[in-house]
Amino acid sequence: MKLHRTITLLLYALLLAGCSGIEQKDTKRASTVDTTMYDFRDTKKLVRTVKKASLLIEQKGTGAFNDFKSDPATWNNPLYYIYVYSIDGTCLYHPQRPDFEGHNLIDVTDVQGRKPLKLAIEATGDVNNPHGWVHYIWHPAQGLQAISKSSSHFAATMPDGRKVIVGAGMDMPPEEKMFAKFSVDSAVEMLKKQGASGLDHIRNPTARFHFRDVKVFVLREDGTALVDPALDTVSPRNLKEYRDIGGNYPFRSVIERLRSEDVCWVIMLDRNRYLRIMGKKAIYARKGTIDGLPVVVAAMTSLPKPIWSN
């Protein structure tokens, strides 16, 4: 009888250990986030921190706010700070602007007319923007001058069932190539669903397809611009004949490569308008469709300078 009871207890203990092991593996898997796609360390750190904060919110709900306040080195430092909003736009937690808390900021605009919070809520549901990036111009809490900002967001559900977004952003962020890629991938999906009517949304300077020097553009297969990368003119131009300062035809290369590839990166040479020196830009391009007709959807972004050039 004692032997039978001992065996039963051992089996029960093994079963609990096995279940605990499974739970630990699931938790570990849920807490991981792929940041290998990014070039800059600060970007990777920001995404991992926002993901970690979203998991803490799912576990503790508003109780996580005390964790954020008690560890400013992790959650509220010179690089970034964590904030939390409900999906209707109500601010629940903001360490830099506690006066925001309890107010609905869904329609607040940046200095260029964008609605960052509305864009952030949309971004967390965009599979082509895996870390919920939003780019905008903002006034720091203690600053005098508006600056560029890029923020990452994750959706979370608190223990009481409330759905929120958790985010943090960087001032004067490094220009990751992936920012351009995410915008193009989102534009391809939107044009597939909305057709030609989606072109006006891409042209809109307050939409998510414009930020800093990055602008999504759309070409026909013959190179005619439906949305121009630089000019908004009445008569569209053909970009196949455009030559960069190195004498290359980057848009012609894009069109030729997409005949056999679905996605491509093409390098072009351009002048840096701040430093007045030659630099490299990358064009990320994808095949897309508008009402069943093939198009090229792309964006240009500056490449980081090599350290030896400083």
Sequence-ordered list of residues with C-beta below 8 angstroms from that of 52, at least 6 positions apart, any chain = 31
What is the per-residue pLDDT across 144-168, written as a single tens digit (0 to 9) for each?
Answer: 788 999 999 999 999 999 999 999 9
User: Between the CA atoms of 187, 32, 96 and 138, what dihedral angle is there, to the nearest 10 degrees?
Assistant: -20
Structure tokens at 290: 């508008």
Query: By the 8 A CB rule, do 101 and 86 touch?
Result: no
Weakest-pLDDT range from 15-24, 48-57, 224-233, 275-284: 15-24
Residue 286 CA to residue 254 CA, distance in Å, equals 9
Per-residue confidence band for 262, with pLDDT thresholds at 50, 70 and 90: very high
Among 3.30.450.20, 3.40.50.2000, 2.40.110.10, 3.40.50.11540, name the CATH number for the domain at 37-171.
3.30.450.20
| pLDDT at residue number 254 | 98
Half-sphere exposure for 52 (CA within 13 Å, toward CB): 12
Tell me, which fold does domain 177-304 have in CATH? Beta-Lactamase (3.30.450)
Which residues of the chain are in CATH 3.30.450.20 domains? 37-171, 177-304
Weakest-pLDDT range from 147-156, 186-195, 236-245, 273-282: 273-282
